[in-house]
Structure 1
């Protein structure tokens, strides 16, 4: 009963704020505020608030939420371990653990050079045509500016 009263009072306050906003000729904002303020009232009338209150104070529901959280933690832990070890995927090209080929093997060539020196000139990946070089010239300028 208290939850329903609080939701109804919140809706009434929100509609009051919407009326003041509409009085100030900000109709779009007033409509948005009115929409948000009608949500708690709609939840009360559908019975969702009563269900939520009954669920919040039910020990059985909390045990169920705990079990769901534990299942999620187990799932995410096993996925993290699987990704870290690199195994467990059945859709690999070779079951013997063949290494993946790089998508752009020359893309990281400047970073593999000498210690902290910056690469001079153009990057190791040459554009295939003159038009492709023009497309990436601004990106290369930004990367050079940041020392990458």
Structure 2
């Protein structure tokens, strides 16, 4: 009941301000203010305010929110434990799904994709990179840091 009264008062005040703006020949501003002023009244008439007030002041609703938060926390915990177990298993084996990034992720890291042996492209010979090659890898990072002023 109190929320509905407050919303009606806010709407009335907003319409008053819109009337003053229209009197001053600011019709576009007056129309915009009137539109904003009618929103609280519309929410009251559709029952949204009553539903929101009932939810906010309901202990049952807050217990439900707490239970949802606990479930979310349990999901996150089990996911973290599962990832840790997978990482340990792949470290023991020496290879696994987490050992090497797939070739498709190279462009996302700012480097050019290297052709995979057997994919039709000529694979580059493995060896030490030159100093210029190492500088190219860090040029993207330097550009990002300079962009952000770091």
> Same fold by TM (over 0.5)?
yes
Where relative contact order (Cα < 8 A, 6+ residues apart) is larger, the structure is 1
**Aligned residue pairs: how many?**
117
Q: CA 1:78 to 1:14, structure 2 compared with 1: closer, same or farther past 3 Å?
A: farther
Tell me whether 1:57 sits opposite 2:57 in the alignment.
Answer: yes
Q: Which residue number in structure 2 is paired with residue 91 of structure 1?
A: none
Structure 1: 5+ residue runs without aligned partners? 89-94, 114-118, 125-139
Q: Which residue number in structure 1 is paired with residue 10 of structure 2?
A: 10
Higher helix share: 2
Q: Which moved more, 1:49-58 or 1:2-11?
A: 49-58
Kindly report structure 1 stretches of 4+ aligned residues shifted beyond 4 Å.
76-79, 82-88, 108-113
Return the TM-score normalized by structure 2: 0.55
Structure 1 residue 71: Cα displacement: 2.6
Q: Which residue number in structure 2 is paired with residue 23 of structure 1?
A: 23
RMSD: 4.2
Q: Which residue number in structure 1 is paired with residue 72 of structure 2?
A: 72
Structure 2: 5+ residue runs without aligned partners? 88-94, 113-128
